[in-house]
Amino acid sequence: MKKGKVSSVVGILGIVFLLCGIVAMAFTLIVGFVISDSVGIGIIGGIIPSGVFIIAGFVMTIVIKCMSSKRQKLIETGVQAEGTVTNVVRDLTVRVNNAHPFKAECEVVDPVTGAVYLYSSPRIIQDITFLIGHKVTVYYDPDNRKKYFVDIETAIAEATENGREVYDYR
């Protein structure tokens, strides 16, 4: 996961859970009805774990789908602004693979009014401290600036094309 695509991993995991749950449910029902002695407790003992897998997979898939649709809507209908990464911080409220993910803090200056707007990127696993001072695209809803998306993935791709990526193995 070089670029820190946690959401795609969770989406794939959700689909895998959903499929495993469906297969386990089908297997439980087929075996339960073929062997008529275990129809009672055997089916219930297989349906409950299968149902848990189905529900977990369904919830993971729906959550990721909703997140990506909100992001896509902002990209399509929102206002695009160019910002600058001013700082990179670790999000100490979350751990991914026993490490805290990074978030880029961005600053967008309105060219008309001169107002400064501060935004934060989504969490990303990769160390992105090399992006400080780099330009980043911010999409926001003109009616509600609290609804925004910082396109940090594109900034990472552009920076790595220019050879700015830094690997820190301390």
The rounded distance, in Å, linking the Cα atoms of 60 and 10 is 7
Return phi, psi of residue 139, to 5°.
-105, 130
pLDDT tens string 72-114: 888 888 889 999 999 999 988 888 788 889 999 999 998 888 8
pTM, to two decimals: 0.65
Q: What is the pLDDT of residues 28-47, one digit of tens each?
A: 777 766 665 545 566 676 77
Q: In angstroms, rounded to a whole number, what is the distance separating the alpha carbons of residues 23 and 12?
A: 16
